Amino acid sequence: MPVRRLLRLVRRYWRVLVRGARRTAAPARRAWRRSLQARVITITLVASSLLVGGFGWFVADRSAKILLNRAQDEVEAQMRTKVDYAYHQLTVHRQVFDPKLPSTMRATVDHLADGNPAENGGAIVTLRAAEYPDLKPVSSTNFDTSQLITPELVKAVAGRGGEYQQIRTAEIAGVQTKFLVSGSPVPTSFGHVELYYLVPLTTEDRAANQIRTTVLVTGLTLVLLLGIVALLVTRLVVTPVRDAARTAQRLSAGLLDQRMKVSGEDELALLAASFNQMAANLQRQIVRLEEMSRLQRRFTSDVSHELRTPLTTVRMAADLIFTERDEFDPAVARSAELLQAELDRFESLLTDLLEISRFDAGFAALDAEHTDLVPIVQRVTERLTGLAERVGVTIELRLPDTPVIAEVDPRRVERILRNLVGNAAEHGEGKPVEVTLACDDAAVAVTVRDHGVGLKSGEERLVFNRFWRADPSRARQTGGTGLGLSISVEDARLHGGWLEAWGSPGAGAQFRLTLPVRSGDRLVAAPLPLIPRDRDPLLAGPTAAPEAGAEAPAPAPEDRAAAPAPALAARETAVPVAEAAGTPAPGASGTVAADPAEVIG
């Protein structure tokens, strides 16, 4: 248990340390991702530091080696002279036990010594006789040379013969001093003695340190200058690009008169001029399209209003003829019925056109009030019962037992549901239409499900466009004006809600209306899934009650599961169409919202 507890503590503190490091490094990561200038300068500084550092190390190392080689060459030359002098002084003694030999060795050492290293940094000369332990070593200083003349060096000089060198460090008068220790045998008449010449490398070390300092300062200065140059160069390039980005953002925000400053005749000036030309062309095109759209909206509104007067007159005459149709011939009576039906469609089309023109002009207003949606759904289904009976469709309601209160415009909600249920009945192919109502603390949703022909892949992008029909061959035999779903989209958007579609060929379609419980609230989830449970393997199961809730800003769990299974991926798509202003509508992954304001003839 103590080991496990210790491991848990280690893992916990490690996670805390990692999170703290990430939070500390977050500003640097953001600057790296968002600033091209910061990336260029950082890369330049890192690359130049590596190059300058490598070059400086090479120069300093080569300089130190050159100084050391020069010192070694000088010591070798001096060693030959000193060995020769020692040979002539010591060879006069035939026996090692000659009582004058120690004094001769002392005189030789004093003559060969360059000075006291403790006083003026001079070299040290030592004579030893490894073959004769009784013959005491003689040194030019009282300094203990045992830490400089190692047994390995003594063994090499006395045993193998020849001149050998090594570098050692010793403390003299409290200062760490580096020595070049050179040893060579001296042949005498009584045998071999060893001459050791210890030369301090203080001058060479000082010179090497000065070279390293100079290289370091020069390298840092060079890196700093390269950073400044990179800053200036990147500013010359990044500043126009940054200006172009700001100008593009202003253009996308609707400020069409924004332009870039053009200076010079280089590539950046050409970029700015081309950008300005593009912005001018876009401005002219947008202004032209806005004018055309304004004229189109005005034409639609004027025509709709102007047709009201003759339509009223024709309606009065048609009503009179329709009332007296029993007294006419059968053919004339049938014509009167057709005239009455087409006038109804014509009047409905004018009403829809007037409603669309109000949305386009921005005059549509929401008259929200606290309303129970259960009676609205029941009323819509009762009014469409006749249509459902004519096409052989039954409407099944799945309503909560308690009231569903939401702050909505009841007239617009009823119109949305009337369009959805009517379309489902007309395209239901004689199969039941299911209407489900559910709510949670933040949203209320209504789904309308049919089991008819469904929607082909890509049609869910067009189903909410004006005047679009899924089956052109039935375009003038069934259905309404082709504006019902477009108006429903605008009604849902006016509430700050969503209107979404899902469909699969042969499996029917499902439409979902989601509205906030409180007017003005932002939707983050829907209480009902968009894809029916019988068509989504991730949601299939015995659960009958609708699920609600999802973490913001992602859609509800059912919506996240709306991505079809592999077998249905090419055929089933959930497409969000209507959404709150400025708020992305939820839906299946990878779907595209259709523009309800686009008119398709």
Q: How confident is the model at residue 413 (pLDDT cuts 50, 70, 90)?
A: very high
Buried-exposed string 135-174: b where 16+ CB fall within 10 A, e elsewhere: bebbbbbebebeebbeeebbebbbeeeebbbeebebebee
pLDDT digits (tens, 9 = 90+) for 264-273: 777 778 888 8
Sheet holding 498-504, edge to edge: 395-398, 433-439, 443-450, 508-516, 498-504, 573-578
Q: What's at 541, amino acid-wise?
A: G
The tokens of 266 are what? 């280089």
Task: For the chain, list the domains and their CATH numbers.
Answer: 77-208 (3.30.450), 259-364 (1.10.287.130), 368-578 (3.30.565.10)
pLDDT value at 115 more than 80: no
| Residue of 564, 493, 500 lying closest to 528 (CA atoms) | 500
* pLDDT for res 595: 35
pLDDT given for residue 118 in this prediction: 45
Q: Which residues pair with 182 in a beta bridge?
A: 165, 197
Q: Is pLDDT at 363 greater than 80 in this prediction?
A: no
Q: What is the DSSP string of 534-562?
A: TT-TTT-SS--SPP----TTS--HHHHTT
- Give the number of C-alpha atoms closer than 13 A to the C-alpha of residue 268, restricted to the C-beta side: 17
Confidence of residue 545 (pLDDT cuts 50, 70, 90): very low
* 565, pLDDT greater than 70: no
Residue 475 is predicted with a pLDDT of 43
Categorize the per-residue pLDDT at 1 as very low, low, confident or very high, splitting at 50, 70 and 90.
Answer: low
**One-letter amino acid for residue 117 of the chain:** P
Residue recorded with tokens 């309303």: 371
- Predicted pLDDT at 405: 93
Report how far Cα 274 is from the mean position of its chain's Cα atoms: 30
- At 484, give phi and psi (nearest 5°): -60, -50
Report phi then psi at 109, rounded to 5: -65, -45
> Quick one: average pLDDT of 95-107?
84
For the ranges 45-49, 164-168, 422-426, 576-580, the lowest mean pLDDT is seen at 576-580
pLDDT in tens, 495-531: 999 999 998 888 889 999 999 999 888 888 899 998 8
Between the alpha carbon of residue 429 and those of residues 384, 505, 506, 510, the distances in Å are 16, 13, 10, 14
